[in-house]
Structure 1
Amino acid sequence: MQKDNNKLNWGILSSAKIARQKVIPALQKSDMTGTITMASRTPESALQWASDLNIRACSGDYQTLLEDPDIDVIYNPLPNHLHVPMTIAALEAGKHVLCEKPIALSSQQLAELTIAAAKYPHLCVMEAFMYRHHPRWQMLLDLIERENLGEIGFMHVSFTYFNRDPGNVRNQADIGGGALYDIGCYCLAVSRLLLAREPQRLLASQQIDADFNIDKMTSGLIDFGAAQVSFNCSTQLAAGQYLEIQCERGRLRIDDPFALDSGDTEILLYDNGQLPAKKISVPYNDHYLSQIDDFSQAILTAQPVPYGLDDAEAIMRLIEAVQQSHATQAWVQLNDNI
C-alpha cells in the first residue's frame, strides 16, 4: 500500500455504537484520514459492519489489527475496563491512541498507562472528550468578556438519560459501568475547562442501583474558591443535558452542550437576569471531526496533543474524590494549600 505522509490510517477496536455512528463518519470527513479498518471479536462481525460503513475489515482479532504495519492510529471505544490494557497494547505495537473516556477507572490504572506511554514519547495518547474541541467554549468565554458580565461565580451542569438494560455495559459494575464514569466525567471536565483552574474541595452523593450495583445517580458540589459548580448525572432519569453559568452581571445557558450538533445552536444570555434572553447563534460544528483533526494535526506535526495524560490525571482525581466523598459522607480536600 502506498503511504500518504499527509494522512493517517486508523484502526478501530470493536464495532461500538459510538464508533459506528459518530467517530467513523467523522473520520471519513477528515482530510487527514487515510484508510479506516475495523476489528471485532469475530472477523465475521467486522466484515459485516465494515461493509455497512464502507470501510475495511480486519481479517483477525484485535491483536491482528494492532500488528498491522499500515495502521498509524488506534481508536479505542472498548468497555471501560479495557481502555488501559488495550491502549498500552496499542502503544507497544507502535500506534498512536485516541481512547474513549474515561481513559482509566482509577489513578493506579492511569499511572500504569502513564509509565507505559513515557516509553514511547514519539507516540500520542489522548482521552476522547470530543465536546471540548467545539468552538462554542471559546465563544462563551469571549462573550462573557465582551458583554462585561464579570467573573463566573456559579455553574450548574446536568447530564441524564434512562437505561435499565442489564446487558448494557453501562449497567455492569465489573467493567466500569455507572453514571459517574459514563457521563459524570463530562460534568467534572467541563468545570475545569471553563474555570481554567483546579478545584479546592468536593462534596458528592451517589444513589446505587440495587440490581446492577452501579451508581444510577451522582450529584455534587465542587468548590473552586471564587466559584462553585454543582452537577448531577444519572442513567435512570429522563434524558437531558444543560449548562448554566451565573456571572456577576449576567447568566448564560447552553442546552445539549455535549451532544453532536444537528445544526446551528444557541447560547442564551440573560443580561442582569432580564427577560427575554438574548440568543447568540453558534455555527454548526461536528466536534467529533474537530477532535480527530486536532489529534491528527498533533501527530502529523509532531506537536503535543491538545489534552495530555496530565489532564486525564486531573479528571481522574475528581472522579475518585466523588467516590471518596460518597463513601465518607464528607468534603474531600483537593488542594493542600487551602
Structure 2
Amino acid sequence: MSKVVNWGVLGAANFARQHMAPAIHGADGARFAALATSSLEKAAPFQAFAPDIEVFTDYDAMLASDSIVAVYIPLPNHLHVEWALKAIKAGKHVLCEKPIAMKADQIDALIKARDDSGLVVQEAYMILHHPQWQRAQEIVDSGEIGALRHVQGTFTFDNRADTGNIRNRPETGGGALPDIGVYTYGSTRFITGAEPTEITSAHLEYDGGIDSYAHVTGKFGGVTFSLLNSMRMANRQRMEFHGEKGVLALTAPFNANVFGEARLTVETTGGVVREERFAGVQQYKLQVENFSALVRGDRVDYPGSLEFAKGTQAMIDMVYAAAK
C-alpha cells in the first residue's frame, strides 16, 4: 500500500467523535493523527480510542503542522467555507461536512481554490460511498423498473428538546434543509442524473428561526418528486423510486447501521419482490478510504464532487426562494 495519509480533525464535534474520527482511525490507508479543539476536556473521548493523537488548542496551529496531510472539518455549517479555504491555503486536502456552504454561489470560491491548488477538496456526502446507493443507481439505469416517473422521499427526526444544538440555531446555519434536505435532494439528483426543473410547491414551517419542517414537490423534467424533511417528527428514513414497471425502495438510506440495516427492495408490476441487504457496511470508513486513495493518487474517480455539492445546494436555494 502507498503512504498512509495523516488526518487532522478540525473541531471536537459530537458527530466527529461518534462517527468520523473512529472511521478515520479504522480506515485502511489513513491515520487519525491530530485533533484541534479549544477544550482539552473535549479531546479526552477522542484519546480514549486514539491515545496517540496530537492535540492542538488552536485551529491555525494544526493547519500549520507539516505532519497533517488531510483535514476533516465538522464545524457548524456557517464556518465551513471559511475554514475550508484556510485549510486549502495551508496546503491541506479537505473533506468538509455537509452542507459545505449555505448558498450555492459560495461553493465557487472552493472550486477555484481546489483548481488553483491541485488539492483534493470534497463535501462529506458519505451515502454515495455506500454500495446500497451505487446498486440503486445500477438498477434504475438498467431499466429494471422501467422509465422513472416519481421519487418519494422522507428523512425526519425530532430534536426539539435539544435547544442548544447547532441544528436548532439560525446563527450557526441550522435548519432541516441544510442538515437533512441535502440527503433527500442530493440522492434524488444522484439517481436521476438530472437537475430540478420546477418547484411546484414548497411548504416550510419555522421554529425558533430555523426551518423545522419542509414538504416540497416538483419536477426533474418528466420525473415528479415529493420530499419531506423535518426535525420535529418521528424518526423515519425511506426513499422510493417509482418506475413504469416497478418500484425500488431503500430502507435506512442515510444512516445505515444507525437507523437500521441498509436494504433495498425491487417490486415489479407482476408482484415479484427481490431484496438485497448490505449488513454492516461502514459508509464513513469507505468515504475516508476513498478520499485517502484519491489523495495518494491510487484512484482517479470519487463519488461526488464540489460541483455535485453545488447542484444540491442550488436545489435547496430554489426551495427557499419558492417558499417565499
In the alignment, what sits opposite 2:205? 207
Q: 1:135 corresponds to which letter in structure 2?
A: P
**Cα deviation code 1:91-123 (max 9, x no counterpart):** 1111000000000001342233333333312x1
1:143 CA displacement? 3.5
In the alignment, what sits opposite 1:244? 240
Q: Given the alignment of the two structures, is residue 195 of structure 1 paired with residue 192 of structure 2, yes or no?
A: yes
Range with greater deviation from structure 2 (6-15 or 27-36): 27-36
Q: 2:266 corresponds to which letter in structure 1?
A: L
In the alignment, what sits opposite 1:30? 27
TM-score, length-normalised on structure 1? 0.88
Aligned mate of 1:152, from 132, 135, 148: 148
In the alignment, what sits opposite 1:63? 60
Q: Given the alignment of the two structures, is residue 320 of structure 1 paired with residue 322 of structure 2, yes or no?
A: no
The 1-side partners of 2:40 and 2:137 are apart by 47
The 1-side partners of 2:129 and 2:262 are apart by 15
**Cα deviation code 1:218-266 (max 9, x no counterpart):** 1111311121121010000011110111111111221110013368632
**Does the 8 A contact of 2:128 with 2:303 survive in 1?**
no
Change (3 A) 1:192 1:37: same
**Cα deviation code 1:44-76 (max 9, x no counterpart):** 432x13322324132331111111110000000
Q: Given the alignment of the two structures, is residue 137 of structure 1 paired with residue 133 of structure 2, yes or no?
A: yes
Q: 2:97 corresponds to which letter in structure 1?
A: E
Q: Given the alignment of the two structures, is residue 254 of structure 1 paired with residue 250 of structure 2, yes or no?
A: yes
**Does the 8 A contact of 2:150 with 2:224 survive in 1?**
yes
**Does the 8 A contact of 1:43 with 1:57 survive in 2?**
no
1:43 CA displacement? 3.5
- 1:39-54 to structure 2, matched below 5 A, reads 39-46=36-43, 48-54=44-50
Change (3 A) 1:66 1:225: same
1:269 CA displacement? 2.2
Range with greater deviation from structure 2 (219-228 or 152-161): 219-228
Aligned mate of 1:265, from 257, 262, 265: 262
Range with greater deviation from structure 2 (308-317 or 179-188): 308-317
1:206 CA displacement? 0.7
The 2-side partners of 1:306 and 1:147 are apart by 22
The 2-side partners of 1:266 and 1:134 are apart by 11
1:315 CA displacement? 1.2
Range with greater deviation from structure 2 (257-266 or 70-79): 257-266
**Does the 8 A contact of 2:129 with 2:287 survive in 1?**
yes
In the alignment, what sits opposite 1:222? 218
Range with greater deviation from structure 2 (249-258 or 28-37): 28-37
Change (3 A) 1:145 1:13: closer
SS in structure 1 at match of 2:56: coil
Change (3 A) 1:144 1:45: closer
**Does the 8 A contact of 1:14 with 1:77 survive in 2?**
yes
**Does the 8 A contact of 1:101 with 1:129 survive in 2?**
yes
**Cα deviation code 1:127-165 (max 9, x no counterpart):** 011011111123223334668321111111100000112
The 2-side partners of 1:93 and 1:43 are apart by 24
**Does the 8 A contact of 2:132 with 2:262 survive in 1?**
no
Change (3 A) 1:147 1:228: closer
The 2-side partners of 1:34 and 1:75 are apart by 12
**Does the 8 A contact of 2:128 with 2:134 survive in 1?**
no
In the alignment, what sits opposite 1:166? 163
SS in structure 2 at match of 1:58: strand
TM-score, length-normalised on structure 2? 0.92
In the alignment, what sits opposite 1:296? 292
What is the number of equivalent residue pairs in this alignment? 319
SS in structure 1 at match of 2:117: coil
The 2-side partners of 1:281 and 1:107 are apart by 35
The 2-side partners of 1:145 and 1:114 are apart by 29
**Cα deviation code 1:163-222 (max 9, x no counterpart):** 11221100100110010000011111001100112221223221111xx11001011113
Aligned mate of 1:84, from 78, 81, 86: 81
The 2-side partners of 1:184 and 1:151 are apart by 25
In the alignment, what sits opposite 1:334? none
SS in structure 2 at match of 1:170: helix
Change (3 A) 1:80 1:244: same
SS in structure 1 at match of 2:68: coil
Q: Percent identity among equivalent residues?
A: 32
SS in structure 2 at match of 1:258: coil
